[in-house]
Copies of this chain bind each other. A is one copy, B any other.
Amino acid sequence: MFIDAPARRERRRQQIREEILHAAREIFVRTGYESFSIRALAQSVGYSPAAIYLHFENKQQIFDLLVEESFAHLNNELQALIEKPNKNPRSQLKAGLEFYVHWGLKYPSEYQVAFVLRNPDKKPYRTHPAFDIARTLVKRCLAGSGNAPREMELKTQALWAATHGITSLLIQRPNFPWVSKKHLIAQVIDSAVNGAINSKNGHRK
């Protein structure tokens, strides 16, 4: 034998975990997190409901894993976006924020679970990688401007708040008579960025 049975079993376990998660994601995006049920998940993978709990702690953990995976993708794409060197920091920041909004609209269920559902005091608090990226972008914009770290953090948080606001509203209220989603996103982000980063070379129209 080249691989011992314990390792073989562990591999098999991992395989099943992923199979369950895969099915979970399918149900999750198809029916939304609100009607996602362990029983439906179990049935879709051909297990009894109890079997799910041999592989996962509880329903919340499954949500967390799905969301984490999705946000890892967002993170990668954002990272790639900000590594393009030919753009100035300011428009890179804007592009990043706009990308964030569109990503949220593309994966509304993930976004909702991540940001909209109650998040009780679990964990000391892990900041989202996307937020870290925003912070470095802000720092780039404000490099050599004499801004204190505290102030940069404040501005990053303000940027996030505004961006989150338009994202979550567009997700939650798709049928509100928005005058123009595209212009609205641009308006929110432009205002927030202008308010955070003094537009030395900004020109008001």
Contacts and interface: CB of A to CB of B under 8 A. Distances in A.
Contacts of A86: none
A77 interface: no
Contact residues on A (Cβ < 8 Å of other chain), bracket: 35 or more
Interface majority SS (helix, strand, loop, mixed), chain A: helix
A118 B162 contact: no
A187 interface: yes
A40 interface: no
Given A154-B179, A164-B165, A195-B195, A119 B188 contact: no
A53 to B, nearest CB: 22
A153 B179 contact: yes
Contact of A172 (B118, B158, B195): B118
Interface in A149-202: 150, 153-155, 157-158, 160-166, 168-169, 172-173, 175-180, 183-184, 187-188, 190-192, 194-196, 198
